[in-house]
Chains A and B, each alone.
Chain A
Amino acid sequence: MEAVAAGEKNMLRVVEASRAPAKVIIEGLGKRFKTRKRWVVAIEEVTMTIREGEFLCIVGPSGCGKTTLLRILAGLETATSGKLEVAHRDSAKPLNSMVFQEQSIFPWMTVRNNIAYGLKMRRVDSRIRDEVVERYLKLVGLSKFADAYPHQLSGGMKQRVSVARAFANDPEILCMDEPFAALDEQNKILLQEELLKIWESNRKTVVFITHSIDEALVLGDRIMLMTAHPGRVKAVFNVDLPRPRNIATLRTNPGFHKQFSEIWSSLREEVNKAKADEGICT
């Protein structure tokens, strides 16, 4: 039932259907928008099923419409064709929360109030809210900075707040748009570890966009590779690495390198294609 771009000769592994129920069903999803001069197709015929509790990474060359797909999932944009179904099982919970790539925590709120934002918008009882916020402050190691303002924090700490804000909102799906792309290598690893720790404790459905195969292998259960502009599903890879994952030892795992080169050889073509028509999509 896993629909993968058919006839794709580079597809290395057709993913078998899992026992977990489907959380998100995407069918033939497309998005076109008009610039001043012409119509641009951002994504086209995207078909994919995301399972309950799955950590799905989406990898693709820049400008392939990864972010557009995620923004449609997050309800920030609407598709122009196709179907998107999300199983909203618990109506008390919000459908999704997004962690943005750029600086997105409110500069005018303390760390505590930033993390509490989603719960406040949902008018969650303040006692429960405080408890949840305390827990996530501790989980991301920011208890001491609960009352600090974002301008007093480093980039890594700001992104921790952003992650905590999304998790604290307790959504059915977490949408993460290259959340660690702007961080330096050391902070990136720290945050990946923290994200894995949090995720392993609550097993939310995560859709995580990245341009790094490394990151996708470290975090994901499956990796969806997208084609260069316009974005289509090129292939879906199962990540066979055992959990819980330890980032340090993962890199010495021979399976890691094998999968890396598999995915890279497929991605490379798309990157070259993207380079060839650079300027058309930005």
Chain B
Amino acid sequence: MNNESEMLPSVQVADNPEKKSWTEMEDSVRQRFLSFISPVIFLVIWEVLSRTNVLDMRFFPPPSAILVTMYHMIISGELWADLSVSLYRILGGFVLGTIPGLIIGLSMGLFKPVRLLLEPLVAATYPIPKLALMPLFMLILGLGDMQKIVTIATGTFFLVLINTVAGVINLDKIYLDVARNFGASRKDYYLTVALPGALPLIFTGLNLGMGMALLLIVAAEMNGANQGIGYLIWESYDIFDLNKMFVAFIMISLLGYIFNVILNEIERWIVPWKQ
């Protein structure tokens, strides 16, 4: 039987592990070096321009000074206090938006009546900027955490929902035929066809939703907050402490990066069949 010869090379590599050749090794080192060197050069230029007053130091404090401020904020615990409060709101809103987004999205994708019923509603409410809804949430929920969590949840909800629906609808119809022919129950339709099949697009939705959550946290902490990364930015604005503001920028950038890495890791783990 010629099974082996039919295999694609990706699996043969696992059977027959081979060291990377030297030129490939050099290539990968070179690539890593290039992507590492660009931010470093950027920071050095910034430092020099700021120190030589080409850049206005009041608006663009030198990176070294920002790092010192960050160090003090870490030591005093101030940074962690802000960060943990924001993390709680971001993750709370993310989970609160993702779960109904997934469930409603899968149902809309799988069952046409559900889709026909809800589609106009989604189409009508999705374009409303979530920031426009914030005053409403503040009136209903007050100025506490819940208002911020709900604001973030609405943002992630729509992105997860829309991508989940697309993920299920784009599935080849044959998989539904197979499920039906093999006697799948309603639960099996969700768990063995719709959910795994839509996962690649669901992760796109999660990634977009996470970006939306970071955007909304800053706005949500603008009013009625006395802690959080967003609050830190507005407070630095009020007291004209740009060093702290830049520390907050770094934190948001870092959060975005870390969430992205985590989501990609999870995706690699639960979507191993995606090439």
Interface: B196 (CB within 8 A)? yes
A144 CA / B181 CA spacing, docked (Å): 28
Interface: A39 (CB within 8 A)? no
A106 CA / B183 CA spacing, docked (Å): 15
A96 CA / B275 CA spacing, docked (Å): 33
Interface stretch among A30-38, A46-54, A116-124, A256-264? A116-124
* Given contact pairs A104-B178, A145-B3, A152-B7, A121 touches B273 in the complex (Cβ within 8 A): no
Interface: B28 (CB within 8 A)? no
B179-200 near A? 1/0 per residue, CB < 8 Å:
1111111001000110011010
B1 contact from A74, A109, A141, A149, Cβ within 8 A: A141
A3 CA / B272 CA spacing, docked (Å): 52
B121 to chain A, nearest CB (A): 28
* Given contact pairs A117-B192, A118-B183, A106 touches B11 in the complex (Cβ within 8 A): no
- B8 surroundings in chain A (CB, below 8 A): 152-154
By the criterion CB–CB under 8 Å, are A142 and B3 in contact? yes
B2 to chain A, nearest CB (A): 8
A209 to chain B, nearest CB (A): 15
Q: Which of A94-120 contact B (CB under 8 A)?
A: 94, 96-98, 100, 102-104, 106-109, 117-118, 120
- A186 surroundings in chain B (CB, below 8 A): 2
A154 CA / B188 CA spacing, docked (Å): 27
By the criterion CB–CB under 8 Å, are B178 and A157 in contact? no
- A153 surroundings in chain B (CB, below 8 A): 6-8
* Given contact pairs A108-B273, A121-B188, A149-B272, A154 touches B6 in the complex (Cβ within 8 A): yes
Interface: B40 (CB within 8 A)? no
By the criterion CB–CB under 8 Å, are B275 and A108 in contact? no
By the criterion CB–CB under 8 Å, are B3 and A106 in contact? no
Interface residues on A, range: 35 or more
Interface: B177 (CB within 8 A)? yes
By the criterion CB–CB under 8 Å, are A169 and B174 in contact? no
A122 CA / B181 CA spacing, docked (Å): 12
By the criterion CB–CB under 8 Å, are A104 and B174 in contact? yes
Interface: B175 (CB within 8 A)? yes
Interface: A12 (CB within 8 A)? no
- A118 surroundings in chain B (CB, below 8 A): 182-183
Interface: A76 (CB within 8 A)? yes
By the criterion CB–CB under 8 Å, are B1 and A148 in contact? no
A75 CA / B182 CA spacing, docked (Å): 10
Interface: B10 (CB within 8 A)? yes
Q: Is the interface of B mostly helix, strand, loop or mixed?
A: helix
B3 contact from A122, A149, A157, Cβ within 8 A: A157
A100 contact from B174, B184, B185, B199, Cβ within 8 A: B174
A118 CA / B272 CA spacing, docked (Å): 22
B272 to chain A, nearest CB (A): 7
By the criterion CB–CB under 8 Å, are A106 and B181 in contact? no
A193 to chain B, nearest CB (A): 10
A124-158 near B? 1/0 per residue, CB < 8 Å:
00000000000000000110110011111110110
B72-105 near A? 1/0 per residue, CB < 8 Å:
0000000000000000000000000000000000
A267-279 near B? 1/0 per residue, CB < 8 Å:
0000000000000
By the criterion CB–CB under 8 Å, are A75 and B3 in contact? no
B181 contact from A98, A103, A151, Cβ within 8 A: A98
Interface: A17 (CB within 8 A)? no
* Given contact pairs A106-B196, A142-B3, A152-B10, A117 touches B273 in the complex (Cβ within 8 A): no
Interface: A181 (CB within 8 A)? no
By the criterion CB–CB under 8 Å, are A100 and B192 in contact? no
> B-side interface residues toward A, CB under 8 Å?
1-3, 6-8, 10-11, 172, 174-175, 177-185, 188, 192-193, 196-197, 199, 271-273, 275
> Which 6 pairs show the lowest CB-CB distances between chains A and B?
A154-B6, A108-B196, A149-B273, A118-B182, A98-B181, A104-B174
Q: A74-B181, A94-B183, A121-B192 provided; 9 other pairs, C-beta below 8 A?
A: A106-B192, A106-B197, A108-B196, A109-B192, A109-B273, A121-B179, A151-B273, A154-B8, A157-B6
30 cross-chain CB contacts under 8 A: A75-B180, A75-B181, A94-B182, A97-B182, A98-B177, A100-B178, A102-B174, A103-B172, A104-B174, A104-B177, A106-B178, A106-B192, A106-B197, A108-B196, A108-B273, A118-B183, A120-B192, A121-B182, A121-B188, A122-B183, A141-B1, A141-B3, A145-B7, A152-B8, A152-B10, A154-B7, A156-B6, A157-B3, A157-B6, A190-B1
